[in-house]
Amino acid sequence: MTTPSPPECVQIGPIIAQDSEALFRWFNDAHTARLDYAWRPVDGLSHQKWLASLGTDPTQIWFAIRRAAQGPIIGFAILRNISAVHRSAELGVRIGEEGERGRGLGKDAARQVLQFCWQVLNLHRVQVAAFADNERALRLYTGLGFRREGILRQAQFIDGKWKNVVVMGLLRK
């Protein structure tokens, strides 16, 4: 029996102009989007406006996920609803291409974002929300130490069906 290889290491960093094409493609991937929100197509002009606005909202931070510092973007992470008063935020992570998923890359990136939350932003609490049927996301967050705090029943209407949303939280040690 062979031992599984360790997950590949990734680096988080700023989103740059060269990431625009991949991000545009991922935002318009209806199948993947439906794993965590109601998909709505994004047009090119809105995408460029969004890209130009990155860094202007103090309540959110977007990170590019890369295998190497200068490598191509393979995914992204977001901290949103950052509250300095309550020392809290919400986390989201996505590896862009299906073939890149399931290798531990998202988990490695999420660990780095959490370290940023604790060490740089001095947050006390980070929460996530995932559809109750998104087992991959629930495993990821459980593996990072998040604990289930509740279920929002029939909170999202996706593809003609109501979905429950699991809310999980992680407190700074």
Catalytic positions are: 141
Q: State in Å, rounded, how far the first CA of the chain is from the last one.
A: 36
Beta strands 161-171 and 147-158 are antiparallel
Report the half-sphere exposure of 27 (CA within 13 A, side-chain side): 18
Residue among 102, 111, 114 nearest 74 (CA): 102
